[in-house]
Structure 1
Amino acid sequence: MKDQEVKVLTNVKFTWTINNFSKVTLEKLYSDTFFTGPYSWQIGICPELSRKPKPGRLLSINLYAGDNVNLSVERISGNFKLSLVNQLETNSAIIKESENIQLNQGDNNVACACSLFVRYFNISSHGSLTGFIVNGTCIIVAEVSINDLGLLDHNHPSSLMDFKGLCKIHEEYVEVLEESCSKYPSLVESHRNRKRSERFNEYSFSTLGKLLHFLKTKKVKDRTSDDGCKELQDLWDEVETRFDDLSWLEPHVKSALTCFEKASKVEKLKSNVADLEEKSKTLKAQAIALDADLEKTKKELAMAEEGFDLDDQLGSGIP
């Protein structure tokens, strides 16, 4: 029976290592983006660690559903797990699990799939729980298992359009797909010849559509270059496994990836320049202070030496 069909299950495990954890001064801190199929995720924390830990203060660790609102699904079925790793005792992690999430919730239409709260005082150097912050390093692990990896919500057909009789595609991707498939008809022909399921075709063309949409609409400045590079690479890796000949698209993807890499290098160099400029200012200020101390000490020396000769005999003038 159809209700007894086994659903697709996709798993991913993402580890986020935060160095100098106790020195974090940002109000919120986010990990790199990671993916399960078409769904993107980020871990976010609200550390408030710039102040001395107080017994009642909570450290909030959240698993966010990235930009999945663009996928036009209202609910993601799966299992979500967050772990605060104990680096000294493997079996002593602090764990929170949840099932299923409803999209279009929370700030900026971003859903939270799982939240873990821990009293920061307890895991800090002031508390009783050891192993969670070691040499200033904190490790958080997110595990995501998604059931029935579909991209679309078929309960809302108004956002879906038939694509070449192969599947239903979100209207946002149809135009870019039509343009590419008219130039490269083998994209459609190869999937017709394979006679794969509508679900397979839906995932293939939706992922390709998202990749094409990304290339046509995104700019490096729209997001951090590292995040953009990771998202584009993940989309490309997925699309490559589903289409026979993408030689026409590969140069554009490689060019975009190179652009992201250059942008990342520029961002890091700018950061290094800013750091060096700050250090230079500090050293110059220290040099000015040292020069002032030197001049002051020279004057004090001149005054101390006035009318005084180290070569004078101590008993000079004794009859």
Structure 2
Amino acid sequence: MKNKNGKLKLTFEKFTWTISNFSKLDSKKLYSEKKILAYPKGTDVGYLSIYLDAGVVNLPFGWSKFANFKFALINQANDKMTKIKETTKQFNATEIAWGFPKFIHLDELNDSSSGFMVNDTCIIEVQILVSKSEQENQVDQQVNKIDDNHDIDKPIKHTDIFLPKETFPTSFGELVDFQGLGKIEQAFVPLLEEVFSRHPSLIDCQQKRSGRFVEWAFTALGRVLHFLKTKKVKDMDGDACNNLQIFWEELKMFRFDLTWLEPHVQSALAMKTCIERAVRVKRTREDVTALEMETKRLKAKMIQAEVDLEIARRDFVKAKEGFEECDLDAELGYGEP
């Protein structure tokens, strides 16, 4: 659906879900008024699970909607420690829900020192950005008209429309003017300034683009830089790797020279395998430690058993001294008749 200016129509919604008496909840799953689905005990044992119910996008048959949604578990002690997870999903009439089965471990959630649970209450903030489209072939025709001045060799596809600030940025923060080139998210500005000082060709290659296209290009670059700057190795689970892969593929469409950045992206994407191996190594180490402790316990038990056996042998020898064996099965009798 387009607006009067011929642009793809977007809707944005932000709301807060407060869950009280968390420890007393008996329900396996909870729904907020805005169709957010949560499993207090998790769909994966030991984790809080959070999903966006597809009903929130209200789809008739044959239609689809792209939704970018972000869940934030508010840290009530330190907002800088708020746990945020974000993803993008194309919903259709057959979808049920999409989200994060392992949003946060219940031990961390319920730890009174973590700040996520205060007075048995946790707070979840949700941001949803939705773009509605018809069948994909119709979307392609619409989106190819977004910027008649672009000079990329291939036409813009429907997946490309989720690059700029007006669609799916990394966060929904304040936009600021960036060197007169367009409006960019404030969080991206220092990162872009840093890389442009080292790679001025990144700006030069966009000089002949339209203003909107430049904004999209720099937003896409800023999003990847922000991801690499803010994520830690331990954060690179499957969801994070998928998001980074999407960001990277979108960024490459803008024809930047990214030879300097690609090794860092590929290294980050490889962290999932590294983390999985680290987890296996940790578990194996724990198994070895447990078996070593069990072996020591059994050895100590064996030594004690040998000591007990030696004492029993000595007692046996003493008990036999001066003892004459008798037939225990013989009849006692009561004399001759």
Q: TM-score, normalised by structure 1?
A: 0.46
Q: Please tell me whether Structure 1 or Structure 2 has the larger radius of gyration of its CA atoms.
A: 2
Larger RCO: 1 or 2 (CA < 8 Å, sep 6+) = 1
Q: TM-score, normalised by structure 2?
A: 0.44
